[in-house]
Amino acid sequence: MPALLTTPRPQHLHLPGDADFDAARAAWNVAVDQRPAAVAVPADSAQVADVVRDAVRAGLRVAPQSTGHNAGPLAAHGLDDTVLLRTHLLDSVHVDPVARIARVGGGVVWQPVVEAAAQHGLAALHGSSPDVGVAGYSLGGGIGWYARSLGMAAHSLTAAEVVTADGSVVRTDAHHEPELFWALRGGGGGFGVVTSLEFRLYPVETAFAGFMLWDAVHAEALLRAWSDWAPAAPDEVTTSFRVLRLPPMPELPPFLRGRHVVVIDGAVLADDESARRILAPLRAVAPEVDTFGRVPAAALTRLHMDPEGPTPGVSDAAILDALPAAAIDAFLSRTVAGTTSPLLAAELRQLGGALGRPDASAALSRLDGQFLAFGVAIAATPQMATAGHAAAADLVGALRATTGHRPYLNFAEDPVDASTAFDATSARRLAQVRAAIDSTGVFVANHRF
Cα separation, 45 vs 40, whole angstroms? 12
pLDDT of residue 10: 74
CATH fold of 93-203+424-437 reads 3.30.465
Q: Helix, strand, or coil here: 198?
A: strand
What digits encode the pLDDT tens for the residues 151-173?
999 999 999 999 999 999 999 99
pLDDT of residue 3: 52
pLDDT of residue 449: 81
Sequence-distant (≥ 6) Cβ neighbours of residue 8 within 8 angstroms: none
The percentage of the chain sitting over the pLDDT mark of 90, rounded to a whole number, equals 91
Single out the residue of 8, 2, 57 nearest to residue 440, CA to CA.
57
Domains 2-86 and 93-203+424-437 share a fold: no
> Strand order of the sheet with strand 157-163?
93-96, 101-105, 193-200, 157-163, 169-173
Cα separation, 213 vs 262, whole angstroms? 6
The better pLDDT of the pair 395, 11 is held by 395
In DSSP terms, 265 is beta-bridged to 211, 240
Whether 272 has a pLDDT exceeding 70, the answer reads yes
Whether 339 has a pLDDT exceeding 90, the answer reads no
Stretch 336-343: mean pLDDT: 84
Count the Cβ atoms, other than its own, within 10 Å of residue 228: 12
Domain range summary for the chain, segments of one domain joined by + = 2-86, 93-203+424-437, 206-411
Cα separation, 226 vs 241, whole angstroms? 8
Cα separation, 178 vs 196, whole angstroms? 16
CATH class assigned to 2-86: alpha beta
**Which H or E run includes 238?**
strand 237-245
Window from 8-17, 102-111, 429-438 with minimum mean pLDDT: 8-17
Whether 419 has a pLDDT exceeding 80, the answer reads yes
Average per-residue pLDDT in the chain?
95
CATH fold of 206-411 reads Vanillyl-alcohol Oxidase; Chain A, domain 3 (3.40.462)
